[in-house]
Amino acid sequence: MRLTWLRLVGLISSFAVGLVVIGAGALLVGATSVDWREGLAALLGRQDRRTSVSYMILVEQRLPRIFLASLTGAALGMAGTTLQAILRNPLADPYTLGIASGSAVGAVVAISFKLQFHLGPFNSVALLSLAGASLMLGLIYWLGRGPEHLSTDGLLLAGVTMAFIAGSAIMFIRYLSEPHRLVAMDRWLMGGLAVVGFGDVLAILPLLLPGAVILFALTPGMNQIAMGEDMAFGRGVPIAAFQKWGFAGASLVTAAVVAVAGPIGFVGLIVPHAIRRLIGPDHRLLLPCAALASGGFLILCDTVARTILAPTELPVGVVTALCGGPFFLWLLLQRSRRKT
């Protein structure tokens, strides 16, 4: 189907409205009942914010969490869509390529060795998480380079191998750590969106926004390269530069959100596939719609995580894994049937 401005604006607007509706619903759902009228009155200055419990729950706890979930989901959705297009592999996402594993190694180092420092809005865990993701990105890119451009098979193999190595490093660090540190490590490794205030939300924007700009600028080339590198090259797409920028942009948005929220798996795998089946493979439309749908999906998962066992809260990574595991197996079975 040909892409028109009416279809582009209509579909993106529909997904954006859906995201807002999901976010508004999640704002009112939780373990504690709140009066949204009281919270709104305090927000508008008609009531003392310091004495309004509803304001503190809605505006200082749930609203930042919803914003963080939407941005994290959008980043993972964009990264998954891009990597699947570049590698022409439906199983590619930031986690199968090992980017999140490198970030996890940095975080557990900070937790295990009790490193406490800050740089701007980032604490030691977030900073070392970013450093781990950057180092992993460099290693995977170096290992996956071909003679002229990135080898898709080499990149996938390098990502999976480095993810196994990172997992081994995490187990070794856990073995050397003090027992009471293991709880903090486990909670971070399961992924979580529990924040208070908008500090963590704003902290991811300096990396997330440039990465998103890079990915959106590459959407026309994604349509060409998805049909094959030879055809894309014949139509003027610089394959090596395109792969380099696409991989860098996807890694940048992933590192930005993983540094704050931890490794939340399967979002970048599930949602792009579902949206591609729904609206088609045109990445000029697929990328923004997958970003909005991924944000809504993660808000829903987080709402389930914080309410299903209330007052106990599940890590959101557990919920996404429960959704993503069966989906991953279904994808593998689909690929096996096609080959047969």
Contact 293, 77 (CB under 8 A): yes
Which residues, 6+ apart, have CB-to-CB distance to 69 below 8 Å?
193, 295, 298, 299, 301, 302, 316
Residue ranges in the chain modelled with pLDDT below 70: 1-2, 36, 44-45, 48-51, 120-121, 146-151, 328, 331-332, 335-340
Query: What are the structural domains, with CATH classification, of the chain?
Result: 5-339 (1.10.3470.10)
How big is the CA angle at 36 (ends 35 and 40), to the nearest 5 degrees? 125
What's at 145, amino acid-wise? R
Q: What is the pLDDT of residue 332?
A: 67
pLDDT of residue 147: 61
Distance in angstroms (rounded) separating the CA atoms of residues 16 and 296: 9
User: What pLDDT does 337 receive?
Assistant: 67
Report pLDDT for 36: 67
Per-residue confidence (pLDDT) for residue 49, from 0 to 100: 66
Q: Residue 271 contacts by C-beta under 8 Å, 6 or more apart in sequence?
A: 73, 77, 80, 290, 293, 294, 297
Cβ 317 vs Cβ 263: under 8 Å: yes
* Confidence (pLDDT) at 216: 94
pLDDT number for residue 221: 85
pLDDT for 77 = 94
Whole-number pLDDT of residue 6: 85
Distance in angstroms (rounded) separating the CA atoms of residues 253 and 199: 18
Percent composition of the chain: helix, strand, coil (DSSP 3-state, to 5): 75, 0, 25
Token pair 């900070």: residue: 110
- Give pLDDT, residue 85: 87
pLDDT at residue number 281: 84
